[in-house]
Amino acid sequence: METELLWGFNLHAWITIITVLGMFTTLLVTKLRADVVFLAAIGILLVTGVLDAKEAFSGFSSSSVVVIGVLFVVVAGLTYTGVLQWIVKNLLGQPNSYGKAVIRLMLPVAGLSSFLSNTTVVAMFVGIVKMWSKKLGISPSKLLIPLSYASGMGGVCTLIGTPPNLIISGLYADKTGHVMNVLATTIPGLFCLLVGVLSIIAMRKLLPDRKAPESDFEDTAEYTVELLVPSSNKFIGETLDYAGLYDVKGGRLIRIRHFDNVPVALSKNEFVMGGDHLTYAGHIKDILQLAQERGLQVGDEVINVGSKTLISALIMIAMVTVSALGIMPLLHCAFIAAAAMMILHCCTPDQAMRAINWDILMVFAGSVVLGLAIQKTGIAERLAMGILDVCGTNPIVVMTAICFVGTFITEFISNTAAGAMFFPIMYEAAEKLGYEPYPFLIALMVSVSSSFATPIGSPTHMLVYGPGGYRFSDFMRIGLLMNLIILAANIFIVNIIYPLTPLQ
């Protein structure tokens, strides 16, 4: 099985290549479910002996897959207590154009991702963007890809923003004894982020206008809506129970304020008065139907900012802070936060389970297994070394070629693995050419985190894939161009900020 057959690849490598190409072709030209296609690909790799049973199912126990699943529960707690609605209303605002909406979204997301896990940031913002896009009259698919891209580009801006930066800087310190500054990638990262934002605005027609699945758009998030009882309403003087305003379809009454603006304890025997404000949490469609049937007026959307809202927000902040400070791994923090959300009644167990997108977890687990196969069979390393052999002695050409291959490989394996794999290749190439490796490695950091062309290129892409109603090809339409644009911006800015220096 180890005998080379063609172009330096053995039989297992060719089986993997054919399987991956077949999988991509199937996803591009058919409407088969992505999770079914990935499961079939895993089956082929298992049956043909490319992977053993433990490796074939390793994706389902991968910590990154488990983290995403648990984060769905954490975000459910934020949703059902009104935190996400508060952010939409108070932070994102109401921009009057798509370009301004992209800027208002991408810059804060990138800023947060520079210091926090970009997976955490995107998980928190998916629900926010879905609600925000509804208010703006923009399809969520027009904003969710920019959301994912912003988190990736923001993570590059500091050494702690993304795992590949930490790995590459750590390997550099081990090799040279010199420690990189935590802000070493800030200027290149910010420049690429600016170019990326402007590119998305310019290429916005390439972003798909998809209708998100009903289960993702309507049924996974609750809204708080305030209804006013007009003075002419026929139910005035009756109890909430008699008027059909207490136990309602698709929602629940969470607060009542009489005309004097004083809140009262919830009771089905409370009397309805003219000027009462009834606040419901539930599916927006059902609440609006209730208002029509019972003769109520729809007021402005209100956020039920109370003790549970603050509790869920504090749980999220604590999870992020403890993880960012390295006190506890993100996986542990996420489990504790999810448990706290349910124990403190920020969401019920049923709500938590409904919030988990099992299809997306299946696809992401499959992508982890495919990445393992590509690494195990030597495909990635063989491609990288082959390009290095033909790119000559021009340092800019060598830097560009390795960064290009790094960007391509990162579409199929984790950026962390790509960073570790390409560090020795880039370092040795720089030294053989007689130059200090430092600027080469800065460029590598940016490139291995610049995966835009496939939904399996990043965990954050997988988080937005389902809620955006995307097809597999949607990422390629704009992503291939984004890869080339950010690659050019990366090489340009790195060579200005960190000019190539001959070895002493």
Domain extent, residue 290, equals 230-295
Instruction: Indicate if 248 and 146 belong to the same structural domain.
Output: no
Nearest CA-CA partner of 125 in 163, 203, 199, 71: 71
Q: Under 8 Å CB-to-CB from 18, ≥6 apart: which residues?
A: none
End-to-end CA distance of the chain, in Å?
45
Domain harbouring 258, CATH code:
3.30.70
86 SS3 class = helix
Residues 263-292: pLDDT tens digits?
A: 677 888 787 877 788 888 777 778 888 888
502 SS3 class = strand
Instruction: Indicate if 179 and 105 belong to the same structural domain.
Output: yes
Specify whether the CB–CB gap between 12 and 377 falls below 8 A: yes
Instruction: Indicate if 316 and 290 belong to the same structural domain.
Output: no
Instruction: Indicate if 70 and 180 belong to the same structural domain.
Output: yes
Look at residue 381 and tell me if it is in a domain. no
What element of type H or E holds 279?
Answer: strand 277-282
pTM over 0.85: no
Look at residue 487 and tell me if it is in a domain. no
Work out the pLDDT band at 221, boundaries 50, 70, 90. Answer: very low
> Tokens standing for 18?
């054919």
Residues 96-110: pLDDT tens digits?
A: 788 888 998 998 889
Mean pLDDT, the chain, whole residue set: 82
Instruction: Indicate if 97 and 187 belong to the same structural domain.
Output: yes
Instruction: Indicate if 110 and 198 belong to the same structural domain.
Output: yes
Look at residue 28 and tell me if it is in a domain. no
Look at residue 76 and tell me if it is in a domain. yes
> Kindly report the CA angle at 323 between 322 and 326, in degrees rounded to 5?
90
Average of per-residue pLDDT across 399-421 = 83
Q: What is the DSSP string of 6-54?
A: ETTEEHHHHHHHHHHHHHHHHHHHS---HHHHHHHHHHHHHHTTSS-HH
Instruction: Indicate if 188 and 315 belong to the same structural domain.
Output: yes
How many domains does one find in the chain?
A: 2
Instruction: Indicate if 210 and 351 belong to the same structural domain.
Output: yes
The residue type found at 15 is: I
Supply the pLDDT for residue 234: 81
10 SS3 class = strand
Instruction: Indicate if 187 and 334 belong to the same structural domain.
Output: yes
